[in-house]
Amino acid sequence: MTPRGTRQITGDLAMFIAERDHFYLSTASAAGAPYVQHRGGPKGFLKVLNEQELAFADFAGNQQYITLGNLGENPTAFIFLIDYVARRRIKLWGEARVVSDDPELTRSLAHPQYQARLERAIIFKLSSWDANCSQHIIPRYSPDVLEPAFDRLEQRIKELEAQVRTLGADPGTFDHSG
């Protein structure tokens, strides 16, 4: 990854973004009152549009509209991306704007298997970004990482249990002298 001050989305950064299934979006009101909101969706829902812009579909949510209100007053925004498994985090500084009148853009940001009502798009224009150190990031694993591992372990346990039953059924094949 490239150090802070980079004003372009590199290939490495684009790949990192494409693998995220969540991020944190920070905005502030005109008076400077901060607000941070978790945004989640399928991997890749935060999309790279070009070397300086990202976008995501804004889904129907909690009806608070704090982020939208803040962006209406103050375009300054911050995106925090974290990969708990690889213990990597990226900070993006820039400006964001709400796009409500471009249904084609909004549809292009949709994910076919994600059933959520799209309301608008939010476009983030990058001013700089930084890759942060991994110190103090505690690894966390999502179901798409854990479930295949658990499935393999369960299958292996079943195989071993079957072997134990087979050995136990024929006393001559198992040494009980221990």
Written as tens digits, the pLDDT of the chain (178 aa) is: 444 567 899 999 999 999 999 999 999 999 999 999 999 888 889 999 999 999 998 877 666 688 999 999 999 999 999 988 888 899 999 999 999 888 888 888 888 777 777 888 999 999 999 887 767 666 677 787 788 888 899 999 998 888 888 887 655 555 555 4
Note whether 128 and 149 are same-domain residues: no
- Of 67, 49, 50, give the one whose Cα is nearest residue 59: 67
Asked whether residue 168 is assigned to any structural domain, the reply reads yes
User: Residues 109, 68: one domain?
Assistant: yes
35 & 87 share domain: yes
CATH of the domain at 51: 2.30.110.10
Considering the domain architecture, whether residues 116 and 38 belong to the same structural domain is answered as yes
Instruction: Look up the domain containing 156 and give its range.
Output: 143-173
Give the pLDDT confidence score for residue 3 in this predicted structure.
Answer: 46
Evaluate whether residue 138 is within a structural domain.
Answer: no
3-state secondary structure of 66: helix
116 domain residue, yes or no: yes
Cα–Cα distances (Å) from 86 to 12, 65, 133, 169, 177, in that order, read: 14, 33, 11, 46, 48
55 lies in the same domain as 99: yes
Q: Looking at the structure, tell me whether residues 94 and 15 fall in a common domain.
A: yes
Cross-strand bridge partners of residue 58: 120
DSSP 136: T
Domains in the chain, number: 2
126 in the same domain as 57: yes
pTM of the model as a whole = 0.75
Answer yes or no: do 58 and 123 share one domain.
Answer: yes
Q: Does residue 137 fall inside a structural domain?
A: no
Question: Are 102 and 31 part of one and the same domain?
Answer: yes
Give yes or no: residues 96 and 160 share one domain: no
